A = this chain, B = another copy of it.
Amino acid sequence: MSRIIDLEVRDIRFPTSLERDGSDAMNPDPDCSAAYVILRTDRPDGLEGHGLTFTIGRGTEVVVAAVVALRPLVVGQPVEAFTGAPGAFWRHLTGDSQLRWLGPEKGVIHLATAAVVNALWDLWAKIERKPLWKLLSGLSPAQVVELVDWRYLSDALTPDEAGGMLERMAPTRAARESEIIASGYPAYTTSVGWLGYSDLKIRHMCQEALAEGWASFKVKVGADLGDDWRRCSVVRAEIGPELALMIDANQRWDVPQAIEWVKALAPCGPLWIEEPTSPDDILGHAAIARALAPLGIGVATGEHCQNRVMFKQLFQAKAISCCQIDPCRLGGVNEVVAVLLLAAKFGVPVCPNAGGVGLCEYAQHESIFDFICVTGSRKGRMIEYVDHLHEHFVDPCVIRRGRYQVPKAPGTSITMKLESLEAHSYPSGEIWKGLRPQEP
């Protein structure tokens, strides 16, 4: 038996706002950042569990404070308390009666939960010498059912139903594992259509992306309709009528405005509109979905969807045609699996939110698990990809011809290089020296 003897948490920030990479209608100047957790055990091999929650600069220190608040629930626990019953341990982490007041299960405390939970899975996967997807795909249906917190889900999906779904897919897992290793998981790129790009830059980036084998493209919209029309038209002209174009408004609109705006962009043939309004507005998304269905335009959301209870309702209300789980906004692997099971029940494809820092690394494992064990399908499914900050990871995700390649190294692919951690520690790291302090 080994024991978790330390939990270290670091405030890691990349000064990406200097380049305006990743800017959108609501987030003009993000500094891609992370609350980064390192779990240490008394194992002789010195294996560590690493996990992170993605943030965008200011406020990372608040998530760090929340991780510190969770520390006493983890340090001193046997590793087997988690690996033996990951669902029960998740309840232990999210169920502290005083900390629960801070959410429950949303916002800062849940972002912190994700970093800790994902570090536990990283530790487990490293101990098993398997990449996360392989660890998950080796669990029995009953073990998968156990790792989910079923509270508040039973009106939509029961543990028995989920177990049945998993049982039906179990005999054919091996075939799908071979298939995905051979062919990878589809991705889409968000790099061609950031706000404010010139026609020339968009054309150039589209041509480059097409040459690299990309088949799906996302464009940011919502700040100015004229500019949106221009950029969407240019992308559509470059990629032709067949390939997928998605648009993303980053919560910019009220419900009636969302419907009107997207209708105006309909001739560009978007597959779906992402985050058309408040991420909390389930009924609003449903209204938008109903209004856009006749135009063949779907609705996607999830990047800011706080937990499984919200996703449950998005499914029940037929509000989304694409479910964008976020590996760190949800409470880590356990809750991601809960949403994968719900999505499968309701027949909604999952296209994880990624980008930022580390999200692509996480999302690939979860989608590969979905393919092997839950839905057995890649139809209508793809993982976002942004070619950004991957160089800081020891085992970054690998893209070939617009597809994620199956990761092979043990763990969750999230371990950052020590020199990257040191240089980007905020505010003391080398990178931040000489930069003015971040002010609102």
Chain A interface residues (CB < 8 Å from chain B): 26-31, 55-59, 61-63, 65-66, 69, 72-73, 96-111, 151-155, 251, 254-257, 277-284, 287, 304, 306-307, 309-310, 312-313, 316-317, 438-440
Contact = CB atoms under 8 A, between A and B. Distances in A.
8 contacts: A27-B101, A29-B97, A55-B101, A66-B108, A99-B440, A103-B107, A155-B254, A284-B309
Contact of A104 (B58, B98, B154, B251): B251
Contacts of A282: 282-283, 313
A278 B306 CA distance: 13
A104 B279 contact: yes
Contacts of A316: 283
A440 B95 CA distance: 10
A24 to B, nearest CB: 10
Nearest to A103: B107
A266 to B, nearest CB: 20
Contact of A56 (B69, B98, B107, B307): B98
Given A30-B98, A104-B279, A152-B281, 11 more contacts: A55-B98, A62-B66, A73-B440, A102-B108, A106-B107, A152-B277, A152-B278, A155-B255, A280-B307, A280-B309, A282-B313
Which among A63, A102, A255 has the highest number of chain B CB atoms within 10 Å?
A102
* Prevailing SS type, chain A contact patch: loop
A28 B108 CA distance: 23
Number of copies: 2
Given A107-B108, A309-B280, A63 B102 contact: yes
B154 A106 contact: no
A244 B402 CA distance: 63
B287 A155 contact: yes
Contact of A439 (B66, B72, B104): B72
A154 B65 CA distance: 36
Contacts of A28: 97
B102 A107 contact: yes
A59 B98 contact: yes
B310 A98 contact: no
Contacts of A277: 152
A316 B99 CA distance: 31
Contacts of A107: 102-103, 106-110, 306
Contacts of A29: 97-98
B96 A254 contact: no
A155 B278 CA distance: 12
Contacts of A440: 72-73, 96, 98-99
Contacts of A278: 104, 151-152, 309
A31 B151 CA distance: 25
A69 B58 contact: yes
A283 B100 CA distance: 22
